[in-house]
Amino acid sequence: MTRSRFVGNETRTLSLSDGDWIVVKERLNMGEARDEWARRYEFVGDATTPRLNLKMVGLSQVIAYLLDWSLGPTIRGVSVDELHTILRKLEPEDFVEIQQAIEDHAFARASEREAQKKTLGGVTPFVRTSPSPDVAGGPSSTSEPLIAMTTRSS
């Protein structure tokens, strides 16, 4: 069975303390991953030099993955800006718990993907067509003598 090169809409529910939970994306697609990366940086000076936005460290990944939760205000379907505003109102230790759960989830998915890449997955392994000699008998022991070739100009 071949793998799909496209990311689906799979989700996973992660447990938090006190019986709470969050629903996150199983994986980010290319666009979501780039958006997450872009939220971590801001441009300074000549607007061509990116600089890490310390306010968004961790927050950008949570925004990229988080879809729903049992914590309070409804977040399913809200805009990125609305989610950002809601997340900023959390107790710091509660945000850290959510962030850690999502980081652990993302790391586990990345590890699984790397393990999948290392398997053959149906690809025929390379098989040598003729064995190499274990010991060569010398530089020209089995070769025909070289004949010098010349080119003529007309």
Q: What are phi and psi of 94, to 5 degrees?
A: -70, -40
Provide the mean pLDDT of the chain: 83
Residues 26-50: tens digit of each pLDDT: 999 999 999 999 999 988 877 788 8
Q: Which residue has the higher pLDDT, 51 or 102?
A: 102
User: What confidence tier does 117 reach under pLDDT thresholds 50, 70, 90?
Assistant: confident
**What is the distance between the alpha carbons of residues 14 and 114, in angstroms, rounded to a whole number?**
22
Helices (H), the chain: 30-39, 59-65, 80-88, 92-118
Instruction: Supply the pLDDT for residue 30.
Output: 95
**What is the distance between the alpha carbons of residues 46 and 49, in angstroms, rounded to a whole number?**
7
Contact 6, 29 (CB under 8 A): yes
Instruction: Supply the pLDDT for residue 48.
Output: 80
Mapped onto helix, strand or coil, the DSSP state of residue 68 is strand
Beta-carbon count within 10 A of 66 CB: 22
